[in-house]
Amino acid sequence: MSVADSRSYRRSPALAVQLLVVALSACSPPEQASAPPTEAAIPHPELAELDPPLARELEARRAGLDALLADQEASIAGKAQALGELGRLYQAHRLLEPALACYREAHALDPESFAWAYYLGVLAAGAGDIETARPAFRSALELRADDAPTLVRLADLELEHGRVDEAELLYLRAAVADDSAAVAYGMGRVAEERGAYAEAIEQFQRALTLQPRASVIHYHLGQAYRELGEFDRAGEALALSGPNRVAMADPLMHELTTLAIGALPHLDRGHAAAREGRLADAESAYRQAVAADATNVRAHESLATVLVRRGDPEGAIEHFGVAVRLAPENARAHLDLGVLLAELGRNDRALEHFGRAVELEPGNGEARLGLGAVLAQTGSFEEAVVELQAALRQVPESGRTPRVHFGLAEALVRTGRLEEALPHYIRVRDLDPTQGLAWLREATVLMGLGRFADARATLEARLRVDATDGRAAHSLARLLAGAPDPTLRDGPRAMTIAGALLQADNAPPNAETAAMALAEVGRFEEAVSIQRTLVEEARRQGRSGEERRLTRNLERYERSEACCARVADAFPPY
């Protein structure tokens, strides 16, 4: 939760009473007169919005704090400690506004506490409140002049606000205490701000050596190379840039991770680890989240997702299943489970969950895409067409759009609607020309419609995009050897393509195409020899339909005829 979180809060009446007591106690003993708190009260979050275990703990802590603040005999140091500890608990659970208020009061009551000054600086800096953060960090440094985390955080703050000289001095002091990746990264940015790009590159490279996972450094490294005109290196660095920040050894911030109550802090750690590719750490954190709150749907979904990435589909199904049972109205959980089941070929269960997701969210294009795809796999092509057409209307133009068009085209072909399928294949390869299978399907449908000239043009266009596409080359060779229209045939070219394919792989389809090409150029004896071998192999394997088709072409070659006398024998049905 950010400091600007819109949750409602209530103020602590006991703290207000205590502030009045302090204000009226000018003649009280010295302890009461030191570091009086400000007039701000603590904005406590509404407990009903929190995980039950955390809500119970906060309720008890707040009751204890109210009683302590109302006790005129209690020491100022004890009250500061209670405020600071409650602030730590709030911060550990991302309740940042009340945490900031707690630290502010704790620091005012006990300015000799390093921890309350440091935590106040961290949260104020995160909230953009430099007027609070800067003096808080400086107070912390008066207590521990060589504390590296404080020096780095204050240096970062000064650098962000254009005080480069001050930032450099602080980074240099930090380097004496802990010459870490965070210091090298900071010094690199100082050099970058001053236009000393060679020095910046040296510092960024050192930071990456110390912390290779910190992908954000690559962005600055790339910019520095670009400024020096080294554009190739700049491109390489920028291609590696990412969101992973530079980590820093920070004992006080690490202590917050030990205060976790409920699932939320574990989920935060898991999300951070997953983003950085530390999947084992992410799994561990998510398992801790599940252990802390077994009813937390997000914990089960997150664990299931990382288990998929770690190659444990059965474990993922288990936790997606728990999420669905905990939240049967959660369309996302049904969708995720359906996707995984479909990938494992468990279509009956996948249909159940995709169908439920569509019932819950009829406008969910991803759910309709999944449902349509599984319906097609199970032979329900008419139903698949309906769902995929709906998905196409609902899924915005994005990286998923080609999948929807392709799936719809495939289902339309299976229902015999070739003319309707054609524009969807074309749309796929227009959106992504690298989708070689879409080009091939388009050409095959065109041949099925008798449009062999268009099919030839499509295959040749595909090979101009990617000359290494063996499937497109094979289809073109077969068309050049066996097109019904003699003006489209080109035996010598078919021979060249078929020979190269057969040399690379002497699989039966390539051998059959080579026989077609040989017959087209009049080398019938060689065509007969190859075709006879193919017929015998089909007979041996019990493929009777294939044997009959191959035999018809064999008989043509034996009569010195090319194979194009019957289209279906040259181009088997889609």
DSSP 497-564: HHHHHHHH---HHHHHHHHHHHHHTT-HHHHHHHHHHHHHHHHHTT-HHHHHHHHHHHHHHHTT--GG
Q: What is the CA radius of gyration of the chain?
A: 35
Tell me how many domains the chain contains. 2
Determine, yes or no, domain membership for 556.
yes
Alpha-carbon gap, residue 303 to 315, rounded angstroms: 9
Determine, yes or no, domain membership for 452.
no
Percent of the chain with pLDDT over 90: 64
Which structure tokens are listed for 555?
């008989």
Which structure tokens are listed for 477?
């060779």
pTM of the model: 0.57
| Other beta carbons less than 10 A from residue 567's beta carbon | 16
Residue 262's pLDDT is: 77
Instruction: Give pLDDT tens digits for 254-298.
Output: 888 778 777 888 888 899 899 888 999 999 999 999 988 888 888
Alpha-carbon gap, residue 184 to 446, rounded angstroms: 61
Instruction: Give pLDDT tens digits for 442-489.
Output: 999 999 898 999 999 999 999 999 999 999 999 999 999 988 888 999
Which structure tokens are listed for 61?
């802590």
Which structure tokens are listed for 148?
């590296």
Determine, yes or no, domain membership for 219.
no
Which structure tokens are listed for 121?
């600086």
Alpha-carbon gap, residue 362 to 107, rounded angstroms: 54
- Look-up of token digits 């019938």: 524
Alpha-carbon gap, residue 344 to 410, rounded angstroms: 21
Alpha-carbon gap, residue 290 to 263, rounded angstroms: 7
* 400, 369 contact by CB (below 8 A): yes
Residue 310's pLDDT is: 93
Instruction: Tell whether the torsion through CA atoms of 91, 130, 241 and 198 is positive or negative.
Output: negative
Determine, yes or no, domain membership for 51.
yes
Q: Which of 51, 83, 110 is the last residue of a domain?
A: 110
Determine, yes or no, domain membership for 526.
yes
* 371, 354 contact by CB (below 8 A): yes
Residue 573's pLDDT is: 41
Q: Which of 52, 78, 110 is the last residue of a domain?
A: 110
Residue 44 phi, psi dihedral angles, 5° rounding:
-75, 140
Which structure tokens are listed for 4?
């600007």
* 327, 337 contact by CB (below 8 A): no
Determine, yes or no, domain membership for 270.
no
Q: Which of 66, 88, 110 is the last residue of a domain?
A: 110
Dihedral angle computed from the Cα positions of residues 258, 264, 266 and 271, in that order, rounded to the nearest 10 degrees? -140
Determine, yes or no, domain membership for 350.
no
Angle at alpha carbon of residue 172, lines to 166 and 176, rounded to 5°? 145
Which structure tokens are listed for 560?
């010195």
Determine, yes or no, domain membership for 83.
yes
Which structure tokens are listed for 442?
């388009």
Helix (H, G, I), strand (E, B) or coil at 98: helix
Burial 143-173 (b: 16+ CB within 10 A, else e): eeeebbbbbbbbbbbbbeeeebebbbebbeb
Instruction: Fill in the DSSP letter of residue 408.
Output: H
Long-range CB pairs of 196-201 (<8 Å, 24+ gap) are 197/224, 197/225, 197/227, 197/228, 198/228, 200/224, 201/225, 201/228
Burial 534-555 (b: 16+ CB within 10 A, else e): bbeebeeeeeeebbebbbebbe
Residue 564's pLDDT is: 65
Q: Which residue ranges in the chain fall short of pLDDT 50? A: 1-40, 565-569, 572-574
Domain housing 29: 1-110
With residues binned 3-state (H G I as helix, E B as strand, rest as coil), the percentages for the chain, rounded to 5, are: 75, 0, 25
